[in-house]
Amino acid sequence: MTAVANIMKAIEALNILQMEQTPSELLV
């Protein structure tokens, strides 16, 4: 896997976590 692919996977995981929690909490 390339570094870019790993980064994209990490971003997807973060997006899922943000959906489960309140966005304002994570943005602060």
DSSP string, 8-22: HHHHHHHHHHHHHS-
pLDDT tens track for 1-28: 699 999 999 999 988 877 776 656 655 5
- Separation between Cα atoms, residue 14 and residue 18, nearest integer Å: 6
CA atoms within 13 A on the CB side of 14: 9
Torsion of CA 14, 19, 20, 25, to 10 degrees: 80
Supply the pTM of this predicted model: 0.52
pLDDT at 4: 95
Residue positions counted in the chain: 28
